[in-house]
Amino acid sequence: MASKGKKPGESAKTAPKAPGAKIETSYAERQGAGGETHQVAGGEVAALTTAQGAPVADDQNTLRYGARGPALLEDFHFREKIFHFDHERIPERVVHARGYGAHGYFELTKSLSKVTRADIFQRVGERTPAFVRFSTVAGSKGSFDLARDVRGFAVKLYTKEGNWDIVGNNIPVFFIQDAIKFPDLVHSVKPAPDRAFPQAQSAHDNFWDFISLTPESFHMIMWTMSDRAIPRSFRFMEGFGVHTFRFLDAKDRSTFVKFHWKPKLGLQSVAWNEAVKINGADPDFHRRDLWDAIGSGDFPEWELGVQIFDEDFAESFAFDVLDPTKFIPEDEVPVQVVGRLVLDRAVDNFFAETEQVAFCTQNVPPGIDFSNDPLLQGRNFSYLDTQLKRLGSPNFTHIPINAPKCPMAHFQQDGHMAMRNPQGRANYEPNSWGAEGGPREDPARGFRSFAAEETGPKTRLRPESFADHYSQARQFYISQTPIEQKHLVDALVFELSKCERPDIRSRVVSHLRHIDGSLAATVADGLGLPLPEPAKAARPTITDLPPSDALSIVRNGPGSFAGRKLGILVTDGADAALFTALVAAVKKEKAVHEVVAPKIGGVTLSDGTKVAAQQKIDGGPSVLFDAVAVIASKDGATLLAGDAAAKDFATDAFAHCKFIGYSSEAMALFEKAGLADDLDEGCIELTGARDAGAFLKACGALRLWEREARVDLDAAA
């Protein structure tokens, strides 16, 4: 596939294709770094070398065949760098250390036999066993669930022709274009080596210093500073394969493909203030949510969608489909739903399954193949090495969670902790022992790579088609609703306010000016920072890319309260009929509820019914719920009005824009909490049992975001 590009100032619609793989400028020139990365106070910088002492000429790009070609095994610098990075920690994963997994199945709903010979996509209705591991990236195993972070969304499909690992994230793009920069990215976001903090946070100088010197990261920054990085639940977030892959049909003809997981229950996030409080109230919030959903039979479900496109589209698309910092808008290539993923069984043992599961991007069945995406090429090398180090043996596929569920036959033998070995005399191939000689190649069924024709020099430069770093970042930003844009700005102001060096803050804002002028000005104002000059840009921003509704969480919400949780704060003597009606309405909406009470022993309702509590008021704050109701007797409301935790329950629910149902007696609590004069249409009085159903229907909107302007008057309002 030829390289392509646009002349400065051209729109996406009129950009001509550039000659294949032509290199026009150096990496530093295109990035706009201008030597900035080499300016260090105190004198001349030492030359970067390998561990063997050899000076390194280029630490930004892997060696490959042609600017857009495959990575080359002879790149000793990349191999040494990624090898050392893969082996930094024992036994915890370097990244994605905190994870949680579950078993399930994938069911095909639409055959793709015309475009791929992959067995899993042939027979509609057939189910394939699956294991999924969700994770955060930056934190350790002991960190909390609701860090602002990318979420791993890794799916292992045990197909009839071998394991297929779709090792993705909940964001469709990534920070870097080339895998050689992965150690630098992760080092920058992890705790600083001299002080070992901060934990599971990107709000510090090292991370933003790296980002401000890496313009290619700014599209991903828009996503991670958005509400996508603080999902309400694993069940309410999308998953993406990130890279461009290939489908190969029975005649080895190639079609490009991108993979999407879309949650059946719609998208949902939390507010940042809410995330901070959830981490204090329940650092295992996401884990508990997944465990409880599966245990109650409310099995999490996603649709598998594919974006399929050919070489002609790849050539005409405004950006390079091999660039992992870019996505293809669904408006240009619609997502076709071809199956569903259902998680219906929790693990029997966390360590044996969730901790020992090994994902490798290289694990694909016949009919799936790789593109020349340089980040994917590097991951294919790195992940196998990672699992070897982490699990201690090349025989990690002998561990049940990693073992294929189809027949296996090969000549690999021995090694640490081998659980099986080839039988018979022959342990080599070819051999002349006939049927006793073991397995043989199968040209018809076996994996075959696409026979791509590659051209170009052996080089460490990136193609010019990777040089636009801001246009899709702008497209993402303008696709957000106003409240989502506000949250994104708030996040940038918060993160950068934790940086001690003003020059780092200024450098970041200088890049934001290429994304949106108002965005940059608001962030600068929130930081008390003079608006800096725009950073040097390798390509001018394309300003006519249209907004895409698919990029907004708010525009892709559930429309109902199904799968959500109502917190009912109740006291002794509360209206029994109203409580019973609320519980029935929750069940009708296919949601769940928890009772919060002054004492964990529960309460006695007005008709003498005893109701057990799942949470004591100071252990069950409103941040744990998607909506709340306060059902109190007159005496009970007076009791709540004098309790700090009860007042926090009400004020936090209001501040986080949640729907609040209440009996008239609850006004005593609202008055003491300072809310009585602020109640709005999201605060619904429940005058009797007949109001319960309407309240739960209203809760399907999840938030009354209009309220935020009245309760959050910060710099980004």
Is-cis flag, bond preceding 530, omega within 30?
A: no
How far apart CA 570 and CA 567 sit, in angstroms, is 9
Counts of helices then strands in the chain (DSSP H, E): 19, 20
Instruction: Confirm whether 96 is a catalytic residue.
Output: yes
Angular region, 214: left φ>0, alpha ψ -120 to 50, beta rest: beta
pLDDT band at 87 (very low <50, low <70, confident <90, very high): low
Instruction: Confirm whether 169 is a catalytic residue.
Output: yes
Helices 482-497 & 517-527 angle (0-180, nearest 10): 40
- Name 110's bridge partners: none
Q: Which H or E run includes 635? A: helix 634-641
pLDDT in tens, 579-602: 999 999 999 999 999 999 999 999
The predicted structure's pLDDT at residue 43: 59
Rounded to whole angstroms, the maximal C-alpha distance in the chain is 90
pLDDT band at 1 (very low <50, low <70, confident <90, very high): very low
The predicted structure's pLDDT at residue 20: 35
3-state secondary structure of 233: coil
- Name 592's bridge partners: 565
pLDDT band at 420 (very low <50, low <70, confident <90, very high): confident
**Token pair 């069950």: residue:** 620
State how beta strands 239-240 and 254-263 pair: antiparallel
pTM, two decimal places: 0.89
Task: From the candidates 96, 204, 219, 656, give the one annotated as an active-site residue.
Answer: 96
The predicted structure's pLDDT at residue 707: 96
pLDDT in tens, 481-495: 999 999 999 999 999
Task: From the candidates 61, 77, 163, 169, give the one annotated as an active-site residue.
Answer: 169
Calculate the CA 358 to chain-centre distance.
18
The predicted structure's pLDDT at residue 9: 36
The predicted structure's pLDDT at residue 32: 41
pLDDT in tens, 602-654: 999 999 999 999 999 999 999 999 999 999 999 999 999 999 999 999 999 99
CB atoms within 10 A of CB 41: 4
How far apart CA 173 and CA 706 sit, in angstroms, is 30
Q: Write down all domains in the chain, each with its CATH number in brackets.
A: 64-198+231-398 (2.40.180.10), 560-711 (3.40.50.880)
Q: What are phi and psi of 244, to 5 degrees?
A: -90, 125
pLDDT mean over 33-60: 63
pLDDT band at 89 (very low <50, low <70, confident <90, very high): low
The predicted structure's pLDDT at residue 463: 94
Max avg pLDDT among 80-84, 124-128, 444-448:
124-128
Q: Which of 30, 51, 47, 29 is nearest to 38 (CA)?
A: 47
pLDDT band at 60 (very low <50, low <70, confident <90, very high): confident
